[in-house]
């Protein structure tokens, strides 16, 4: 058993500048807790086998998503979470650079399956 260690989110976010490239902070069972900086929009995609959980640390982002033929938009801000159910096509959209953390299965592909 390894000793407990705290993780400084400020230090982790200061260690990288690239956007839309999640960095693993920790693993919890079969899940990875990741930090990501977002700016502009990401690609439409889905994760067929896994849910995804976003927690906004600073700023705000919007999540476009599709239910059937309907496209919807949900905006969420610092201190709020949004769960994306497995299989739901979605597109994260950030304005200026923001920070968020998300939880997903360790084997889950970053882009899932979807279109560019």
pTM, two decimal places = 0.78
Residue with the bigger pLDDT between 116 and 96: it is 96
Domain ranges of the chain: 9-105
Cα distances (Å, whole numbers) of residue 98 to 9, 52, 77, 94: 13, 18, 10, 7
pLDDT in tens, 62-79: 999 999 999 999 999 889
By CB atoms closer than 10 A (0-12, 13-18, 19+), residue 112 is buried
- Judged by DSSP in three states, 89 sits in coil
> In the prediction, which pLDDT does 32 show?
87
Mean pLDDT, to the nearest integer, of 80-104? Answer: 80
Q: What is the 3-state secondary structure (H, E, C) of 38-82?
A: EEEECCCEECCCCCEEEEEEECEEEEEEEECCEEEEEEEECCCEE
Of the candidates 23, 73, 29, 78, which has an alpha carbon nearest to the alpha carbon of residue 54?
78
> In the prediction, which pLDDT does 116 show?
38
User: The CATH number of 9-105 is which of 2.60.120.10, 3.30.43.10, 3.90.1150.60, 3.30.465.10?
Assistant: 2.60.120.10
């Amino acid at each position: 058993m390894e000793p407990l260690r705290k993780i400084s989110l400020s230090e982790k976010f200061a260690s990288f500048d690239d956007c839309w490239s999640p960095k693993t902070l920790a693993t919890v069972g079969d899940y990875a807790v990741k930090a990501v900086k977002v700016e502009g929009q990401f690609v439409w995609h889905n994760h067929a086998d896994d849910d995804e959980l976003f927690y906004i640390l600073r700023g705000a982002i919007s999540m476009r998503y599709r239910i059937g033929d309907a496209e919807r938009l949900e905006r969420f801000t610092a201190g709020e979470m949004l769960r994306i159910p497995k299989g739901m096509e979605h597109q994260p959209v950030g304005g200026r650079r923001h920070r968020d953390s998300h939880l997903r299965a360790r084997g889950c592909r970053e882009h899932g399956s979807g279109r560019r």
